[in-house]
Structure 1
């Protein structure tokens, strides 16, 4: 049984090395999860029965009306998960992971045995659980007894193991993983990591540019160092062509830890996120690490429904249909919080770029200026005449009634 103590969710993101490329230990919460006891234990013997809050807002009949992650010809969309590995023994991921197309970019220890080296090469060995949770949010298969399921449960996951609990991943290794993902036919790449020190790396930048040129949708977590509210760039999320994802809470507001910046494209649920863990069951975690695959799952569905759409058109669709708090884009949640159902149903025509809302006031007819009159207006005259007519009628009635009373009294006195 694997047990890992949980730390603050504000640092629940795997980190890579800085500009020097030397290995650096990441914040431990990069590989952690939170449950009711403050720690994540896996395998989890019990499943989480209820439907996670991030899925309760979805109408699955509409979301999956056209596809669950497969094109019309039955070909599943391939999504690469560059992370700590993806366990394929969890029953919800058993048929989702394409182990043969995966790879492990972490070198084995120098003193490792032959058996240990063989195990180290397996991209489906996830000692920390981070990549398995990321993959589950994208493509976990439905299972009786739990309300948790991936957003694209018929997509295929390419497991690319590039980091671990000791922070052995490097920007160079991530660059290799990105190129491998493109080679293996990934149409979406999910990267729930960022570089330590927020420094750009030439190898990584070139690899991302290559994936973009190959029409791959690259989704990356914005980072979890946003508690101070200051904007700063993270990589690879800040590279051109990448859809950077911030984390939102249950109120569709930025999660306090989510990194803000002008590079943020959209936000997605990233608080109390349920997902799969190695060997079985589910666990709960927090971070932009788990907001990014939520968006990657939506991207997979769009690519399955519209295989002819370019990566830019897929990203624009996600951004345009997001639920916005402002009319345009801001540095906290980008174009808004992703709306999976709207992204898959409000798609009559493809677009190249999202546009700012004009706001409700723009649709209200402008009031026409009143006509200047120096005397009585026609309406005032009609009102006055109607009042006169009503008053005159009342006087006539009163006179008639009064005359009748006088005549009656005179006749009574005469008869007496």
Structure 2
């Protein structure tokens, strides 16, 4: 049977390919509004994510200055990249590096360059080939999850979607393997702008932290997010900035950017509270998020959606 198309679900990669204006390297830190607006810089007084490893299952996290020393291991499940998972593969080759910088960017100098939510966390670069309907892509992801668990991941970030509610049988075993080994799995909800009207797998899998997107004002994003009752929290998905494999800062949008922001917060929680198991970490993430205002169940943001802090 032909497999589901595995998509990055990011609206802005097309803009990048079309030549979206690059951000200036000396101002990229100023463009990361979520660091202050969402209390990340305050959290750094307690932890920056040291001792936690985040696996980025994506197109590959390239070797760039902002990630010097961040990637401690990797693999390629596509057969198209390098053995260490650092060579970008598939459609949207920039994607994995953009995601990696949002999780654990270290900057390039004091106050310069991209810095991630958890700048002292370690990364695993696990490359898979996006954009194909081949059954093997599904199997690549299943293998990637297992490899990540076996190689020390505390958190797995999956900024991808299938655009379907269900998932292949191979994912049942792989995700159960992650849950049984105390790993928190974070997945993007997908974007209307890319054709994902309703949340798709893996964000529909029970136990996965499904992440929706917000605009700069903390409201549900229309194009750069999707809707669904499985959403756990929401994070910024518009006016984002990231670094490409060429080392260029660019603007982008989508829940593919919101997910690594949440994965970074999970890394901060796991670093500050190593005594908590995965379920307690997820509970703490949701319970300490700022509820949506007015507080009602909104399928576009979730019950206890993460919105920006009140003034």
Q: How high is the TM-score relative to the length of structure 2?
A: 0.86
* CA RMSD of superposed structures (Å): 3.0
Q: State whether structure 2 residue 88 is matched by structure 1 residue 126.
A: yes
Q: 1:149 matched to which residue of 2?
A: 115
Partner of 1:245: 211
Shift of 1:40: 4.9
* Conservation of the 8 A alpha-carbon contact between 2:238 and 2:253: yes
**What secondary structure is seen at the aligned counterpart in 1 of 2:235?**
strand
2:65 to 88, 91, 110: 91
- 1:47 to 1:172, Cα distance in 2 relative to 1, 3 A: farther
Asked whether 1:308 is paired with 2:275, we answer: yes
2: distance between equivalents of 1:103 and 1:53? 32
Q: 1:255 to 1:194 in 2, by over 3 A?
A: same
1:105 aligns to what?
77
Moved over 6 A (4+): 226-229, 339-342
1: distance between equivalents of 2:132 and 2:84?
17
Q: What SS class does the counterpart of residue 32 from structure 1 fall into?
A: helix
SS in 2 for 1:20: coil
**Aligned ranges 1:5-404 → 2 under 5 Å:** 20-21=2-3, 24=5, 26=7, 32=13, 34=15, 38-40=18-20, 46-49=25-28, 50-59=30-39, 62-70=42-50, 76-88=51-63, 90-98=64-72, 101-108=73-80, 120-126=82-88, 128-144=93-109, 146=112, 148-164=114-130, 170-225=137-192, 232-257=198-223, 258-324=225-291, 325-338=293-306
How far apart are residue 46 of structure 1 and its match? 4.2
Contact 2:26 2:112 (C-alpha < 8 Å) held by counterparts: yes
**Cα shift readout 1:306-330 (whole Å, capped 9, x = no counterpart):** 0110111111111112122243543
Please state how far the C-alpha of 1:27 moved relative to its aligned partner. 7.8
Cα offsets for 1:61-97 (capped at 9, x unmatched) = 5211221111xxxxx2000000000012x11101111
1:288 CA drift (Å): 0.6
Deviation at 1:20, TM superposition (A): 2.0
Task: Report Cα offsets for 1:118-165 as digits up to 9, x if no partner.
Answer: x54341112511000111111000333536410100000000001246
Bigger radius of gyration among the two: 1
